[in-house]
């Protein structure tokens, strides 16, 4: 089963997050595409993901997760102790998403925007980008 992460390809923080996930996902649970790509647009339409979602989306088992739910479901599949972060799913969504929205709102200011080119991963990683 493919788990697909849609991410903001222009966001340095989002690109670093993808690299972080890849490093902790040796079993290749996740595949990646940017929200700005044709493939990303197709998934947005297919899963009715609102246009105002511009950060992280996880598509898993025919369902899409956004904001903190996406981040926590991703953490659940990562190697190491990262899966323990999934316990934060018990925190009310409104509170979790409030923290997520604060970071998302400031991500360009804090981490910058990638306006040039994105990373060129090695071939074994490249096949995970759709």
The string of pLDDT tens digits covering residues 77-116 is: 999 999 999 999 999 999 999 999 898 888 888 887 776 5
HSE-up of residue 60 (Cα within 13 Å, Cβ side)? 16
pLDDT score of 51 more than 80: yes
CA 101 to chain centre: 14
How many structural domains is the chain composed of? 1
Supply the pLDDT for residue 119. 58
Q: Which domain holds residue 10?
A: 3-126
**37 φ/ψ sector (left φ>0, alpha ψ -120 to 50, else beta):** beta
Q: Which of 38-47, 53-62, 72-81 has the lowest average pLDDT?
A: 53-62
Supply the pTM of this predicted model.
Answer: 0.86
**Block residue for tokens 């997050």:** 17
- Label residue 18 by pLDDT band (50, 70, 90): very high
Which pLDDT score is estimated for 63? 95
């Amino acid at each position: 089963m493919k788990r697909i992460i849609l991410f903001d390809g222009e966001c340095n923080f989002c690109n670093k997050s993808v690299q972080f996930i890849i490093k902790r996902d040796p079993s290749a649970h996740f595949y990646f595409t940017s929200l700005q790509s044709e493939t990303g647009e197709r998934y947005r339409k297919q899963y009715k993901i609102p246009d105002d979602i511009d950060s992280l989306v996880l598509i898993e088992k025919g369902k899409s997760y956004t904001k903190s739910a996406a981040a926590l479901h991703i953490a659940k599949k990562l190697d190491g102790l990262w899966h323990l972060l999934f316990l934060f799913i018990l925190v009310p969504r409104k509170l979790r998403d409030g923290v997520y929205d604060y970071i998302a709102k400031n991500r360009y200011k804090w981490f910058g925007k990638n306006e040039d080119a994105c990373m060129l991963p090695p071939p074994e990683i490249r096949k995970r980008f759709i």
